[in-house]
Amino acid sequence: MFILVNLKAYPCDPIEVATAARDVAEASGARIAVSPQAADIARVADTGVETWAQHVSPNAHGSHTGSTLAEAVADNGAEGTLINHSENRLKLADIDGSVRAAERADLETIVCANNPAQVGAAAALGPDAVAVEPPELIGGDVSVSTADPGIVEDAVAAADAVDPDVDVFCGAGVSTGDDVAAAGDLGASGILLASGVAKADDPRAALEDLVTGL
């Protein structure tokens, strides 16, 4: 299981979380990555933690003011990127373009989706993984693996029907090792989470609890 911690735009210290994630990953052998604000990618990557972007634009170099260039995040230490997060939805053509841009920059990709139907469509674009996140559960206290286990199982089946090589992650409300274990039992290959770590009083303790479910 891969645990990807999305810091969104929360007012946490990205270096505190990154350092804790690096240490917990090293101690446990778990794969843990941190996805900070684009402006923080270089200094988060400098901690040694696996670092992901929260988004990349579909365009390449050129006259694209305000874009988040895949090549730029890769040059600053990102190893992968989220695409089409529920809080940053894209048009279908732009999801495809962002996946292609990430591939050009050798970034791993996770395309987010609301439901199993979208998971199937996202898998058809050939990312490394898709992540199913029911929007109504994002930021809540109840894990998707408890509140809606069927959506995870259906997402795994939907992706497998399109492309068995595409991994399926789940996210929304995940905050404990038990949540992680339940997601794994439902067939998920990874977890996408945010508030359980970024808003925790003790992010290191939260991460240490999460890896008990691996």
User: From the annotation, which residues make up the binding site for substrate?
Assistant: 6-8, 138, 173, 194-195
What's the Cα-to-Cα distance from 162 to each of 26, 42, 97, 109, 182, rounded to whole Å?
Answer: 34, 35, 19, 17, 24
Q: Closer to ligand G3H at the Cβ: 4 or 25?
A: 4
Q: Taking the complex as a whole, how short is the minimal distance between the CB of residue 157 and ligand G3H, in angstroms?
A: 22
When CB distances to ligand G3H are compared, the closest residue is: 195
Residue 85 annotated to the active site: yes
Q: Taking the complex as a whole, how short is the minimal distance between the CB of residue 207 and ligand G3H, in angstroms?
A: 13
Residue 61 annotated to the active site: no
Using CB under 6 A as the binding rule, whether residue 12 contacts ligand G3H is answered as no
Using CB under 6 A as the binding rule, whether residue 118 contacts ligand G3H is answered as no
Question: What single-letter amino acid sits at 167?
Answer: D
Q: Taking the complex as a whole, how short is the minimal distance between the CB of residue 34 and ligand G3H, in angstroms?
A: 12
Using CB under 6 A as the binding rule, whether residue 194 contacts ligand G3H is answered as yes
The 3-state secondary structure of the chain reads CEEEEECCCCCCCHHHHHHHHHHHHHHHCCEEEEECCHHHHHHHHCCCCEEEECCCCCCCCCCCCCCCCHHHHHHCCCCEEEECCCCCCCCHHHHHHHHHHHHHCCCEEEEEECCHHHHHHHHCCCCCEEEECCHHHCCCCCCHHHHCHHHHHHHHHHHHHHCCCCEEEEECCCCCHHHHHHHHHCCCCEEEECHHHHCCCCHHHHHHHHHHHC
Q: Closer to ligand G3H at the Cβ: 84 or 195?
A: 195
Q: Taking the complex as a whole, how short is the minimal distance between the CB of residue 54 and ligand G3H, in angstroms?
A: 8
| Span interacting with ligand G3H, options 67-75, 88-96, 188-196, 203-211, rule CB under 6 A | 188-196
Using CB under 6 A as the binding rule, whether residue 21 contacts ligand G3H is answered as no
Q: Closer to ligand G3H at the Cβ: 13 or 75?
A: 13
Binding footprint of ligand G3H on the chain (CB under 6 A): 6, 85-86, 133, 138-139, 171-174, 192-196
